[in-house]
Structure 1
Amino acid sequence: MKTIPIKVEGLSVFPEGSNNNFATGDITLPNLTPLTSTVSGASILGEVDLPSQGHYGSLEVGIAWRTINKEAFDMVSPDFKGLEIRGAFSEFDNSRSSVVTRAIKVVVRGFSKSLDLGTLAQNATTGTTNTIEATYLKIFIDGQAVFELDKFNYICRINGKDALLDVRKALGLA
């Protein structure tokens, strides 16, 4: 089946393990930027920056709220556990000439980095935002896990491949 991605049709955000969704504006997902090590020396012309498998830079998740609300403050409390972000993508199925819906779920766990209260202006949104430093990120598409990163447990799985299994074995963690 050949599909052409169109847009995010719907989006809901939940505290992890809850069915009470938040009323939010937008979610900014993190950049997945691998950490690299510069290698140089004999048999190498110059330098090569090689990615360290499973190691990623800071993973910031942003939550943009329409106004200042209680849930924004829940995000900065010390007992913050995590979020489930659920979405519905519209895609055009070329083989059937119809629009189909794909589910995406993003699970994020981490720590609060900031709460920007925004601006109070008449007849306008406040621009309130939370920033979360994610230590755990797992992404499902149509129920299938396509990415999992757990920074504190040496887990990095991409499309079912466990990139750090040998490292965990060497460390006595697997």
Structure 2
Amino acid sequence: MPKITNKTIQYKLKASNQANAMVLIDDSSDLQLPSIEKLTDTVKGSGIMGEIDLPSFGQLGSMTFAVNNRADNAQYAIMSRPGEIKFEIIWVVDVFDSSQVKVGIQQHKVFLSGVSKKYDMGKIDVNSGADGSSEFEIYYLRKIVDGKEVLLIDKFNFKYVVNGTDYMNDLRTALQ
């Protein structure tokens, strides 16, 4: 019987400051992890019924990471600066093991590197949250679930590894 992943119990966000030290960002309301979208080109012609929007091998679109916050503070200002910013996100989800009728937890970690694209300080209104946000262009992503690396994307080093399979190895070899 499978384990059923349910929902996020809690999370923690750290970002690198000007000295490249990881600092806890403890006032975010939620995070939007990057979406992995392949670049595509429409193929049509003889031998194809209509069109196929075919992904280009190993080519990924922009990956954006967003941090939404209730109120702006000094922690968010450090994330607006130029240059590389590193992130460490840890979250825990509850998991239902139907074979043992038991609830447990599962740890997820994501390590990101990127640059600031947008820093929105939010709005100022009486008796309201600021609802600001920060967005980052991500070029390095590493995901670990319960201590096992399940995904690694490194755009500058042509790496796209899923559960230990390096899909860009042949491309790197061909470019030598």
Given the two structures, how large is their TM-score scaled by the length of structure 2?
A: 0.90
Structural RMSD (CA): 1.7
Q: Does the 8 A contact of 2:15 with 2:79 survive in 1?
A: no
The structural deviation recorded for 1:136 is 0.9
Q: Which residue matches 1:92?
A: 96
Q: In structure 1, what is the Cα distance between the partners aligned to 2:113 and 2:150?
A: 17
Offset at 1:26?
A: 0.7
Q: Which residue of the other structure, out of 64, 69, 74, is the alignment partner of 1:70? A: 74
Distance between the aligned counterparts of 1:28 and 1:134, measured in 2? 12
Post-superposition shift, 1:154? 0.7
1:6-85 alignment runs, 5 A limit: 6-15=6-15, 20-23=23-26, 24-85=28-89
1:79 and 1:31 map into 2 onto residues whose CA distance is 22
Task: Give TM-score scaled by structure 1 length.
Answer: 0.91
CA distance in 1, matches of 2:89, 2:81: 19
Contact 1:54-1:149 at 8 Å conserved across structures = no
CA distance in 2, matches of 1:85, 1:110: 14
Q: Is the alpha carbon distance of 1:20 and 1:117 closer, same or farther for their aligned partners in structure 2, counting shifts above 3 Å?
A: closer
Range with greater deviation from structure 2 (14-23 or 113-122): 14-23
Once the two structures are aligned, what percentage of the paired residues are identical? 33
SS in 2 for 1:136: strand
Stretches of structure 2 that go unaligned for 5 or more consecutive residues are: none
Structure whose residues are more often strand by fraction: 2
Q: Distance in 2 between matches of 1:45 and 1:121?
A: 56
